Structure 1
Amino acid sequence: MIGVPFDGYGRPGNQARAATALREAGLLDAFEHHHIAAQCDLDLPAGDPARGPTSLINERALLAMTRALNERVGSAVTSGRLPIVYGGDCSVLFGIVTALRDHVGDVGLVFIDGHEDTMPLDVSEDGEAANTELGLLLGLTGRTLGGELGDRLPALDRDRLVVLGPRDDAWRRQFNVGTLADNGVWVAPLAEVADDPAGAGRRAIEQLAERVDRWWLHIDLDVLDPVEFPAQGLPDYPDEPGGLTWDQLLDMVMALFTTSASCIGGSVAIYDPDQDPDSAGAAQIVAFIRNVVARPTISR
């Protein structure tokens, strides 16, 4: 169990408090029928809202998080354990995906998110890394990216990725950013997933299982409808309408465990306790995770 006290905007609270808030809501108890080999939070520098040399916000903490997750995730998987990464935002994938490449080998990625996260660095309005990570990991963007992060990327092949639930077409069109579906990536947008969540999950994992026998599950909670889960996104910034219900998300995730390909770890990101004063959102996350890990289909 790896907690990530990281906020993509360098704020001292918000997503940086997510790991602690989820434990306080009973996250570890959701794994009561499983042996927890270790629990730790990453030790990261204080947040910095300024852009760094790569133009990304909170870059010093971002790089420290990438290094730490690369080491911890790689060590856990190679030791036969199943790492669960929680807290922070989608930029955790910089550390996770490079760890799988560096220490494990050929592993697929199931990416569940309300966005495709391919914003080029020179187009990004605010420098939030969580809008950019798939484009950088795939090498679709970031060709001039230097420094430590640039040295680690790209790290993911297009045919080792499936994307479920994005609903950001209108937002991407504002910046003339195309869809991953036009770049050889298997994508099931929100309308397709909402119409048949379990079917979309089965199609995604069947597609991935043709190429790999191991995969990582990443869930960005902004795939949910903000009416269902308000504690996502930025305070005072309108959330994109639509999204899945909790039941639809559960049906889709459970359908992923229907092939011989093994899930070797998972990550859950984008929860803001500052927007969840009564911890109702934290309780929903814990209940969702409890339902997933309770199913006998989940194994390495």
Structure 2
Amino acid sequence: MKEICIVEFPSNLGLKEPQPGKEPGVKNLPNWFWRHNLHKAIDHKDVLRLDPPKYTTNRDSETNILNANALVDYAREQAYLINNLLSQNKFPFILGGDCSILLGSAIALKQKGNYGLFYLDGHTDFMNVSLSETGGAGGMAASIVTGNGPPKLTNILNLSPYIKEENLWCAGNREYDDEYENEIRNSSATYLSLHEIRKQGISNAVQTFLTEVKNKNLDSFWLHIDVDVLNDSIMPCVDSRTPDGLTYEEFNELTSYLFQSPKLSGLEITILDPDLDATGEYTKNFVENISATFKKHFGTLGS
């Protein structure tokens, strides 16, 4: 079984300020997870940390995206770190940060080969900058890594697209708005809204993805988890709350199928904001659920 390396990317570069003069608190997530015993629960060999450039509220004049230059610099450093881990056949278990940390992961994957991306999120994050009210790259992450958007972000190191659009599976969105959803509906990505996942059944949906990974002979696939895919009643400490969402029973079933696959090369967890979970109760429940599922199923098909 692969050696697990916990990687901390405490970046909030892809989000707007929650209120004037206040930075998004998601930058404190790795420390918050440590405090709530995720590091103890995951059997890891090493912990690596890469701090991001300074957060600002400035929109880049060229792209109209917040912190664009800082995101590029950070993504290059992230990619170097992840590439090294993948080259050593290690499993990066990444703790964000906001969804923009995907840029570094995706660049590393492109440097290694042809990868799939299972994007598990309560939003599609497949949005053109013209539709974004905030200019935050976190809300465009899936779009950017598939080559859609300003070249400054989509073509770092001349590697666009980092993930081929047809190898993106966007699952769990419940922001039901035609203008928003049409962006991904009109792409060659596979789009599974929360409604569609429940309609197909979790097992059928995930097995179709895993079969596609096999049939396309992809080198492997990456798992992105935005905790806002969870039901708002069990995970309200996120920046963009939306009613409904996966229950822990559904989430654990879905992730268990992915964790079992020998084709899973790494994962990242994003968006939980410690500032919005004063008692830590929501974080504690999340840690208990994901660590139990991961430990039970990780690599079982490959062992």
Range class of TM-score, shorter chain: 0.7 to 0.9
The structure-2 alpha-carbon separation of the partners of 1:186 and 1:148, relative to structure 1 and needing over 3 Å to count, comes to closer
Assess if the C-alpha contact under 8 Å between 1:161 and 1:208 holds in 2: no
Query: Counterparts of 1:190 and 1:148 in 2: how far apart (Å)?
Result: 29
Aligned partner (choices 176, 199, 206) of residue 201 of structure 1: 206
Task: Show the counterpart of 1:73.
Answer: 82
Question: Are positions 1:30 and 2:41 aligned together?
Answer: yes
Amino acid at match of 1:202: Q
Task: Show the counterpart of 1:223.
Answer: 229
Q: Look up the SS of the partner of 2:293 in the other structure.
A: helix
* Superposed counterparts of 1:232-243, under 5 Å: 232-234=238-240, 239-243=241-245
How big is the shift at 1:225?
1.4
Amino acid at match of 2:248: W
Q: Look up the SS of the partner of 1:155 in the other structure.
A: coil
Unmatched segments (≥5 aa) in structure 1: none
Q: Look up the SS of the partner of 2:222 in the other structure.
A: strand
Q: Count the aligned residue pairs.
A: 285
The structure-2 alpha-carbon separation of the partners of 1:291 and 1:184, relative to structure 1 and needing over 3 Å to count, comes to same
Aligned partner (choices 175, 179, 183) of residue 168 of structure 1: 175
Task: Show the counterpart of 1:133.
Answer: 141
The structure-2 alpha-carbon separation of the partners of 1:192 and 1:146, relative to structure 1 and needing over 3 Å to count, comes to closer
Q: Look up the SS of the partner of 1:264 in the other structure.
A: strand
Query: Counterparts of 2:153 and 2:187 in 1: how far apart (Å)?
Result: 26
How big is the shift at 1:150?
3.7
Amino acid at match of 1:223: V
Task: Summarize deviations over 1:151-177 as a string: whole Å, max 9, x none.
Answer: 34321112322221111231x52x6x6
Question: Are positions 1:98 and 2:107 aligned together?
Answer: yes
Query: Counterparts of 1:130 and 1:257 in 2: how far apart (Å)?
Result: 24
Task: Show the counterpart of 1:4.
Answer: 9
Query: Counterparts of 2:154 and 2:294 in 1: how far apart (Å)?
Result: 33
Task: Show the counterpart of 1:270.
Answer: 271
Task: Summarize deviations over 1:75-113 as a string: whole Å, max 9, x none.
Answer: 1011111011112111111110110111x2122111111
Assess if the C-alpha contact under 8 Å between 2:252 and 2:290 holds in 1: no
* Superposed counterparts of 1:31-70, under 5 Å: 31=42, 34=43, 36-53=44-61, 54-70=63-79
Query: Counterparts of 2:298 and 2:152 in 1: how far apart (Å)?
Result: 41
Query: Counterparts of 1:182 and 1:264 in 2: how far apart (Å)?
Result: 28
Assess if the C-alpha contact under 8 Å between 1:199 and 1:252 holds in 2: no
The structure-2 alpha-carbon separation of the partners of 1:282 and 1:64, relative to structure 1 and needing over 3 Å to count, comes to farther
Aligned partner (choices 168, 189, 193) of residue 189 of structure 1: 193
How big is the shift at 1:117?
1.1
Stretch of structure 1 that moved more, 108-117 or 184-193? 184-193
Aligned partner (choices 149, 161, 183) of residue 154 of structure 1: 161
The structure-2 alpha-carbon separation of the partners of 1:147 and 1:107, relative to structure 1 and needing over 3 Å to count, comes to closer
Query: Counterparts of 2:95 and 2:29 in 1: how far apart (Å)?
Result: 8
How big is the shift at 1:179?
4.2
Query: Counterparts of 2:234 and 2:153 in 1: how far apart (Å)?
Result: 38
Task: Show the counterpart of 2:3.
Answer: none
How big is the shift at 1:126?
0.9
Assess if the C-alpha contact under 8 Å between 1:165 and 1:189 holds in 2: yes
Unmatched segments (≥5 aa) in structure 2: 1-5
The structure-2 alpha-carbon separation of the partners of 1:148 and 1:87, relative to structure 1 and needing over 3 Å to count, comes to closer
Amino acid at match of 1:222: D
Aligned partner (choices 27, 30, 41) of residue 16 of structure 1: 27
